[in-house]
Amino acid sequence: MCGIVGYIGHQNACEVVLKGLERLEYRGYDSAGIALLGKDGFRTVKTVGKVADLKNKIGDSGLVGGLGIGHTRWATHGGVTDANAHPHSDEHNRLVLVHNGIIENYLELKEDLLAAGVHFQSQTDTEVAAQLLARLYNGNPLQALCELFRRCRGAFAFVILFNDRPNELYCVRKGAPLVVALGENEAFCASDVPAIVEHADRVVFLDEGEICRLDASGASFWDLNGCAHDHPTTSVDVDPTMIDKAGYTHFMLKEINEQGSVLRRAMSGRITEDTIDLSGEWGISAAQAKAFRRLDLVACGTSFYAATVAQRVLENYLSIDIRVDIASEYRYRPLKADADTLALFVSQSGETLDTLEALRHVKEKGAYTVAATNAPNSSIAREVNDVLRLNAGIEIGVAATKTFTAQLMALILAGLYLAKLRGELDEKDEKRLVSAMKELPYKVEETLTLEAELKALASKFSKARDFLFLGRGISFPVALEGALKLKEISYIHAEAYAAGEMKHGPIALLDEELPVVVVAPEDYLLEKTLSNVQETRARKAPVIFLTTEGVTAPADIAGLIRVPRTEPELSAFLTVIPLQIFAYEAALLRGCNIDQPRNLAKSVTVE
């Protein structure tokens, strides 16, 4: 949430920072701003809107210099206004600062500053930090930053320029990510790797409580007590082509279409011949695996739905109690977890604050923790015992698509591997599932060819005000994910229910104006779901029936989509795809901003 970029060096900082901000726009995009430090002090331009609006505002103003910072905002404290956009400075323009995160005690700090006669220009918590830092600064940035750290509560990353230090840029991290990279006589910093990947293939991910100074000749690092230390670089495996639309109109469509290869990568190194083997990346022993008495799957949003599908699959194979929970709920629960609990956190970004706090909560109980994430250097990845990589490649569309698929595969394989170590996975089941998994990428690619049919369906229903999604068993979380995708990018209100629950309330909503998407692949619950379709049709609601090839569709339905056959436990890999495409096509017809839907951010680093 919020994207930060900083640059110092021989290039024009304005261009480098703006380009970096464009790459980070998925983190927030309600306002944007930039500040450069030149001979005459700071020049700051900020605006409500996107980086493109900022570029327009900068126009030909000749914003040129070798030192600059920029920001894209996702508003928390203070409305979406030019004044609240970052960078923020203090009243005497001694420094400018950009911020990602929240300063929880900002009101208390602001009251003290107001009492001391400080004048504020904005409603943000960030300006409080800028004003406070300026008062703490007496020519020694390190000392002032250590003190700022001590006084601010919450999670934050700051990048700061001091007016009297024209050759330095400072970064601090506490609870929000920052990465720095060094080039030939230049240095970069950003909230995430895509902003700087084209400049360097080795980076430093700042640690919690770390302060970094960048100048054209390199980087220096200190801890919160002002003690200097070295920080080795890490290589980054981001393929720069991943941050290109590759001819697609939207990143979301590109990412939907990547799911065949995403699945191949998610299985690579985990499936050999007809067996599942994760020993190369997950070093638990059979004795450890046998000692677990409980598996908690914890996540938010789409990741939570992937976890819920995995729970439904894995409870067929693991004898332990498998629970699934929303991170923002789990973190406040009086957990009964202990050292015999395996807690698995699912997060595409690895930075979701609710998930991170849930992880910390269960760690206090002594649980063994694992993260399934697309960001192996993220905050969550650093705090768990083991990491399962999604290897999905960067996902830029704000609505998660390919990472759902990668998460599902990683979770199912990890769970089956656990069952194997515990002696609970039958060899026949393993062979059957592995052989079906190997075919999945082809079947996903076949499902992607349904685009034209889904486009036609979307044009029939894109003006609907509400949608209902139904599914049972594995298909219930798929229905939830379908409804979430539709809400997120087309802004159509959509709800999902376990199909059997419809008669306990939502049935009251049914009429000819409410399209109902029924996710009903071939499995042992199909007949039950078909009965729910009859109940729906009896109340005249148009039904879009999503099923498997070969299933006889109910009469009198408004739309029929068939996906290839697979093993019933794996149906979600295929049924989710038409729902993603349907949401995409509906959003396109409604003229929505698909890759950057309103109010959303890709990485949710606030509570």
Contacting residues toward ligand F6R, per CB under 6 A: 300-303, 347-349, 352, 355, 399-400, 484, 488, 604
DSSP state string for 427-453: HHHHHHHHHHHHHHHHHHHHHHTTHHH
What are the tokens at 456?
């036609």
Closest CA to 169 of 66, 60, 15: 66
Within 8 A by CB and 6+ apart from 31, the residues are 46, 47, 48, 49, 72, 73, 75, 80, 81, 82, 84, 85, 86
Residue in the structure block whose two tokens are 């083997």: 277
CB 604 → ligand F6R: shortest distance, Å? 5
Q: Which is nearer to ligand F6R, 190 or 353 (CB)?
A: 353
What are the tokens at 206?
């700042």
CB 244 → ligand F6R: shortest distance, Å? 21
Q: Which residue is nearest to ligand F6R (CB)?
A: 301
CB 257 → ligand F6R: shortest distance, Å? 17
Q: Which is nearer to ligand F6R, 303 or 341 (CB)?
A: 303
Q: Which is nearer to ligand F6R, 141 or 301 (CB)?
A: 301
Q: Which residues are catalytic?
A: 2, 602
d(CA 362, CA 352): 16
d(CA 593, CA 208): 35
CB 410 → ligand F6R: shortest distance, Å? 12
Within 8 A by CB and 6+ apart from 57, the residues are 45, 47
What are the tokens at 90?
């203090």
Which three-class secondary structure state does DSSP give residue 95?
strand
Q: Compute the C-alpha angle 571/478/405, nearest 5°.
A: 65
Helix (H) or strand (E) holding 76: none
CB 484 → ligand F6R: shortest distance, Å? 6
Q: Which is nearer to ligand F6R, 147 or 595 (CB)?
A: 595
CB 399 → ligand F6R: shortest distance, Å? 4
CB 537 → ligand F6R: shortest distance, Å? 31
CB 382 → ligand F6R: shortest distance, Å? 15
Q: Which is nearer to ligand F6R, 199 or 254 (CB)?
A: 254
Which three-class secondary structure state does DSSP give residue 316?
coil
Sign of CA dihedral 50, 44, 77, 3: positive
d(CA 196, CA 202): 10
What per-residue string of b and e applies to 354-381 under the rule 16 or more CB within 10 Å gives b?
A: bbbbbbebbbeeebbbbbbbbbbbbbbb
Q: Which is nearer to ligand F6R, 122 or 403 (CB)?
A: 403
Q: How many residues does the chain have?
A: 607
Q: Are 421 and 415 in contact (CB under 8 A)?
A: no
Amino acid at 554: P
d(CA 458, CA 440): 26
Q: Which is nearer to ligand F6R, 289 or 577 (CB)?
A: 577
Q: Which is nearer to ligand F6R, 34 or 300 (CB)?
A: 300
d(CA 510, CA 535): 10
Sign of CA dihedral 80, 82, 86, 91: negative
d(CA 543, CA 558): 5
Q: Which is nearer to ligand F6R, 210 or 395 (CB)?
A: 395
Q: Quote the distance between the C-alpha of residue 528 and its chain's center.
A: 35
Q: Which is nearer to ligand F6R, 147 or 488 (CB)?
A: 488
CB 373 → ligand F6R: shortest distance, Å? 8
d(CA 536, CA 538): 5
Residue in the structure block whose two tokens are 């979406």: 80
Q: Which is nearer to ligand F6R, 372 or 440 (CB)?
A: 372
Closest CA to 34 of 120, 97, 100, 125: 97
Within 8 A by CB and 6+ apart from 572, the residues are 309, 408, 474, 475, 477, 478
What are the tokens at 175?
């609870």
CB 485 → ligand F6R: shortest distance, Å? 7
Q: Are 17 and 68 in contact (CB under 8 A)?
A: yes
CB 372 → ligand F6R: shortest distance, Å? 9
